[in-house]
Amino acid sequence: MSYDEMYSYLEARVDALKTNKTGDERQTVDEVFDRQTLMAIYDLMTGGILDSVKFPISTGKEGNVFYAEEEDGEPLALKIFRTSTSTFKRVGRYIEGDPRFKGLSGNRRKMIYAWTNKEYRNLQRYCEAGLPVPEPVAFNKNCLAMEYIGDETGPAPQLKDVFLEDPDDIYDEVISFIIDGWQVAHLVHGDMSEYNILMMDGDPILIDCGQAMTSDHFNAKELLLRDIENVNRFFKNRGADIISKDIIMEETLKGSSDDDDEEDDDYDDEEYDECEEDDVE
């Protein structure tokens, strides 16, 4: 299969590739859908995961999230991480300290692919622990397919944009994400905020779990405290009854010991040895 053949296959299924774009749009499209990313999407499609990619839900510095569909028309969210240098710099910091990724460094694409794999596995862990996160479906290179949180009218809004009838209720639920995340999933989210919580039918759903760390990470307690402070700040402004951070910390760390029974969850570097070297910039 030639690149042109692959591209025309994708052109029919990825709306962003369809029309004749103007210069500016063209550049954005090219930045997101570089050759490797197109190959990843192609593999997800021929692998029966994805059928089409419709429209962007969110376009950020580090990644884009698209509304996509399975063959039967069921919605999916497709998160595509940029493989640019700036993303690499941010991501590198996190991966370096994570015991699951020890030994991985260097190749920029490898790091971004590892990051994608990390978000996938963090979502899996949260799911298994019973926390409400988008269920991960599949990943390939820098592309992550997951459950779409939203309905026909659009994606679920971020917590920051929602009026809360009963902030205490939602606050308690979000605090339970922190405590259960630590005690059951053995993870600390590390970027918990009103931006990374979606409100679906009145319930909070935790998203953006790429940077989540295992609770045995040397920095985990610091991240935990930061998550608590972020959540407390937001809900204080919304008029909720705030529990002091010390009490939440104590409650979270209760019964956890440092020689926890972490399962062997090391990242397998070999998987990515096939991936191409960085593009020359």
Report the interface residues with ligand ATP, using CB under 6 A.
57-58, 60-63, 65, 77, 79, 134, 146-150, 155, 158, 196, 207-208
Structure tokens at 70: 């399975």
Q: From Mg ion, ligand ATP, none, which one binds at residue 150 (CB under 5 to 8 Å depending on kind)?
A: ligand ATP
Min dist. Cβ of residue 182 to Mg ion (A): 20
Q: Rank residues 137 and 248 by Cβ distance to ligand ATP and give the closer one.
A: 137
Smallest CA-to-CA distance from 65 within 82, 53, 77 is with: 77
Min dist. Cβ of residue 77 to ligand ATP (A): 3
Please count the other Cβ atoms lying within 10 Å of the Cβ belonging to residue 94: 20
Answer yes or no: 208 catalytic. Answer: yes
Q: From ligand ATP, Mg ion, none, which one binds at residue 57 (CB under 5 to 8 Å depending on kind)?
A: ligand ATP
User: What is the per-residue DSSP string for 151-217?
Assistant: ETTEEPPBGGGS--S-HHHHHHHHHHHHHHHHHTS-EE-S--STTSEEEETTEEEE---TT-EETTS
Min dist. Cβ of residue 130 to ligand ATP (A): 18
Q: From ligand ATP, Mg ion, none, which one binds at residue 139 (CB under 5 to 8 Å depending on kind)?
A: none
Q: Rank residues 60 and 130 by Cβ distance to ligand ATP and give the closer one.
A: 60
Structure tokens at 147: 């459950």
Q: From Mg ion, ligand ATP, none, which one binds at residue 251 (CB under 5 to 8 Å depending on kind)?
A: none
Q: Rank residues 79 and 121 by Cβ distance to ligand ATP and give the closer one.
A: 79
Smallest CA-to-CA distance from 148 within 95, 94, 63, 207 is with: 207
Q: From ligand ATP, Mg ion, none, which one binds at residue 76 (CB under 5 to 8 Å depending on kind)?
A: none
Q: Rank residues 98 and 208 by Cβ distance to Mg ion and give the closer one.
A: 208
Please count the other Cβ atoms lying within 10 Å of the Cβ belonging to residue 223: 20
Min dist. Cβ of residue 243 to ligand ATP (A): 26
Instruction: Give the ranges where the chain is alpha helix by DSSP (H).
Output: 3-11, 15-18, 23-32, 35-46, 85-97, 108-128, 167-183, 220-237, 245-253
Q: How far apart are CA 229 and CA 214, in angstroms?
A: 19
- Please report, as ranges, the residues that interact with Mg ion according to CB under 5 A: 196, 208
Min dist. Cβ of residue 276 to ligand ATP (A): 24
Answer yes or no: 191 catalytic. Answer: yes
Question: How large is the greatest C-alpha to C-alpha distance in the chain, in angstroms?
Answer: 60
Catalytic residue IDs = 191, 208
